[in-house]
Amino acid sequence: MAEHPDRRQFLGATMLGTAGAAALLSLEEKSLQAGLDHRAQASGPQRPVYRGETLPCGKIGKLSISRLLMGGNLIGGYAHSRDLLYVSRLLREYNTDSKIFETFELAEQAGVNMIQVAPGCVDLVARYRKERGGKLQMMVCMDVDQSDVPKVKDQIKELIDKGAETLYTHGERTDRQVMAGNIDAVGRAVDLIKAAGVPGGIGSHSLETPIASEKHGLNADYYVKTFHPDNYWSATPPATREEWCWYHGSSPDHERYHDNIFDLHPEKTAAFMKDVKKPWVAFKVMAAGSIPAQIGINHAFGNGADFVIAGMFDFQIAGDVEIAVKALKRTKLRQRPWCS
């Protein structure tokens, strides 16, 4: 049976430039502890407000986008939670519309100016803009069958009419087209997005998708690709990782895929993307909560990502933005040139 590192080994092996266990405690963890200590003296938990240096932005097309984007799964009530059955309901119970709007406001105050969402969350973001005067931009993953051109056109129009600033092809939908050899369908979907006047991207879990997209010369403006270290406890062991595992269902075998790994070969991802001259938006950088933000965000930016998507509760925003700002300062020696 494969051996997995414990938390101390994992932190020591993955975190760059740390000088001991105390240095590994993220602002998020410190803020959480402070909140716990303070709760006995206060009527309610206080959400940290970010007051640090400005979060840098980059470009995709004409859009100016904060290097750290908010992920949409938490507000949509969906979580990769392995065998924890209550997590998605917990998200829905905690993230009421009012709480979501408060979270959006905290994000904008901290310099996060875009959220990645599924189509089902677009109306909520549009309401926030209207009711709270928010400016949060939307990067929306299209979830229709990419080979069905009329449906693709209809969804593009609908999402842009609702205010989406950029669209990309949903990772699962795209991977399945690549699995089936229908790379042309992906290319047509991207072309239709761009013809509608917004930047068009390609999403994926599998590295085979950007490889095929580059090989066939698809005209995407950017890639949205999973990326995280793979030496956390619950990761599928390297010997039993299978391409396209996300679409074959979870296995009862503890040593195989069970909603627990999202980039099968991060070193190969970094090596391939190094030569890709299009912006790379990395997501699942914390492996859906298995990796501390301090490690996942540093790993992503240090190994070539141009932007990072992070799912953030209201109490995590200040900490994650501080981590991102500091991580971006450490990227002078990264091998992949900035593509935006």
Q: What is the mean pLDDT of the chain?
A: 89
How many angstroms separate the CA atoms of 73 and 95, rounded?
11
How does residue 30 score in pLDDT terms, banded at 50, 70 and 90? low
Q: How would DSSP label each residue in 196-238?
A: TTS-EEEEESSTHHHHHHHHTT---SEEEEE---S-STTSPPG
Tokens of 274: 């190094």
Q: What is the pLDDT of residues 226-276, one digit of tens each?
A: 999 999 999 999 999 999 999 999 999 989 999 899 999 999 999 999 999
Q: Tell me the pTM.
A: 0.87
Q: What is residue 104's predicted lDDT score, i.e. its pLDDT?
A: 97
Q: Is the pLDDT reported for residue 35 higher than 90? A: no
Q: Is the pLDDT reported for residue 29 higher than 60? A: no
Of 13-22, 63-72, 74-83, 179-188, least confident by mean pLDDT is 13-22
Place of tokens 């030496």: 231
Q: Is the pLDDT reported for residue 24 higher than 50? A: no
- Mean pLDDT over 95-123 rounds to 96
Of 65-69, 91-95, 316-320, least confident by mean pLDDT is 91-95
Place of tokens 């009421």: 96
Q: Is the pLDDT reported for residue 7 higher than 90? A: no
Fold adopted by 49-328: TIM Barrel (3.20.20)
Of 43-52, 256-265, 284-293, least confident by mean pLDDT is 43-52
CA nearest to 157, candidates 196, 208, 194, 209: 196
With a pLDDT cut of 70, the percent of the chain lying above it is 87
CB 276 within 8 A of CB 214: yes
Three-class SS state of 26? coil
Choice between 36 and 333, residue whose per-residue pLDDT is larger: 333
